[in-house]
Every structure is written in C-alpha cells, then in structure tokens.
Amino acid sequence: MKRIVQAECLSYTQTLPDASFPLIYLDPPFNTGKPQKRNRMRVVQDENGSRSGFGGKKYRSEPLESPVYPDSFEDFLGFLEPRLREAYRLLTPTGSLFVHLDYREVHYVKVLLDDIFGRKHFINEIIWAYDYGGRPRNRWPAKHDTILWYARDPDSYTFNREAIDRIPYMTPRMVGPEKAARGKTPTDVWWQTIVPTGGREKTGYPTQKPLKLLERVIRVHSNPGEVVLDFFAGSGTTGEAAARHGRGFVLVDQNPDALEVMRRRLAPYEPEIINFDALPAPPEARRA
C-alpha cells in the first residue's frame, strides 16, 4: 500500500482498524507560537541583475511561493492526546511509535505518553543533533530535537540490529583497520545535518526532516513489505524512506501545500491520493 491522504488526521485515523501498523512515526507541530515558513528563491539570468556568476554573467533572485502553516496552540496537549491514543490503538502487538519534538513540549509529551502506553513501554530517548543556523548570545544555542520511542510490547518489538547503518570511529587507528572499515553502531545521539539548503533533497517545506534520519528508523523498526503510518506527514520524508526500502506507507496531512509537495516528491512510487475530507461518508462508516 502506498497512500497519501488529505485529511484532518484524527478524523481519518478513527476509520482505520485496530493493530494496523507495525511502525508509526509522528512529527507533529512543535507549538513554536509562530507560523512555520521557509522562504524559497530561485536565481535567473538577467543582464541587469545584481548578482554575478561564471563568465561575468548577471543574475537576479526571484521569490517563490513558500508553504506555510500555523504552529500555535492554546492547549497543545489537548490537541495531541487523542491523536497519540489513536497511534497506540493502531500499533500492532510488536509495533513501535516514534514521536519527534523539540525542547518546548517534549517533557510534557513524555509524561502524556507514559500515561497512554505505561512507563515500561518507553524504550529510548533519541537525540537528533545538528549544527546549523544562528547562535544567540544570551543562551546555549538549541541544536537538537528529541525523538521518543515507545513499544506496544516492551518485551517484543521489531529491532533489526543488522540493518543499522554504521558510523566512523572518531579514532580509527585505535581500533585497528578491520573495525575501522566496518564502523560502529550509533548511540542514542544521532549526529545528522539538516536538509542542505541547496541540496536535491530539499522540497521547500518548512519542517522537512532529513531522509537519512527516517531511513534509519524505518530499516531498523520495520520489515520489508510492511506499511508505515505518518499522520503529520508534511513533506513526505517518511513515505520516501519507506518506499526506498521496500515498505508501504500511509501519509496523512490536512495542509494542501504538504499534499502538493508529497504528490510531486512521491510521484515515482505512484501512490494512491485521497481527499478524505471531501468524501461523503455516513457517520456509521467512521469510528466513534
């Protein structure tokens, strides 16, 4: 299954049967208190332009339409709680949930997830660390996000250790050539740059996450042929990572800009595209 759904995520997930997905990754709004937007530009040749390039040619910059979404909630936990309870219901018995947040709300969401899953079901706090962007002068620069991993069954969950991508040793000469060539497994701190501004991976969506980050989660915590769910899908990174590694995906987002980005990005995989909010469905067809 490869599916992109335009929908308010709670209304759609309530129609799905119990225990449907072995892996759910969620990157919800961070409640930053301001709209999320990433300005996009393109450079075109113009003899009157103010920028110089190769061979003395002149260029000018043109702004492009940029996706934007609001990111402010009066009751963020009240918004998130029913959606996290849906995620719990939708996990298979050996399934895992990954919730990606930053420093603003992660501690409160951790307590909420402990209540939904039980504290023993919390497996890891993963730190995604990066070094990019400005550095304020009045506090330590915030250069990490947190990913909370919960398992439906803390004694039985998918963890394909052999699928972990290895990273270089910091002192390869101390471990010998054989180990240095093989590399070492990462810890719960994942050093990974953000999506490069001028890279081919860039979609222009304001909260796009790196493909390598999602590839690691999907390879290790699901199996080929399984279907991964993401109901805050944004730019569709979860879908591309899943498709690249032989998994299916169900991606849900209400933002039309996100749907357009996903439609273009995932076109090679020929996903089914559904506007769920536009479908006339009788109330009895949806879960209460």
Beta bridge partners of 190: 128
Q: Residue 134 half-sphere exposure, CB side, CA atoms within 13 Å? A: 4
- Encode pLDDT of 141-199 as tens digits: 999 999 999 999 999 999 999 999 998 888 888 888 888 888 889 999 999 988 877 77
131 or 50, which is more confident: 131
- Encode pLDDT of 99-108 as tens digits: 999 998 999 9
pLDDT tops 60 at residue 139: yes
Domains and CATH numbers, the chain: 2-40+82-285 (3.40.50.150)
CA 124 to chain centroid, in Å, comes to 17
pLDDT tops 50 at residue 23: yes
Which of 241, 247, 243, 240 lies closest to 226, judged by CA? 247
Helix extents (H) in 153-269: 172-175, 177-182, 211-221, 237-244, 256-265
- List the structure tokens of 211: 């493909």
pLDDT of residue 109: 96
Contact 99, 28 (CB under 8 A): yes
- Encode pLDDT of 29-87 as tens digits: 867 666 544 444 455 566 776 666 656 676 655 554 556 545 566 888 999 999 999 99
- How does 123-134 read in b/e, with b if 16+ C-beta sit within 10 Å? beebebeeeeee
Contact 217, 25 (CB under 8 A): yes
Residue count of the chain: 288
- For the full predicted model, state whether its pTM sits above 0.85: no
Which of 133, 247, 128, 265 lies closest to 201, judged by CA? 265
pLDDT tops 80 at residue 250: yes
For residue 263, what are the contacts with CB-CB under 8 A and spacing of at least 6? 4, 273
The span from the CA of 184 to the CA of 55, in Å, is: 46
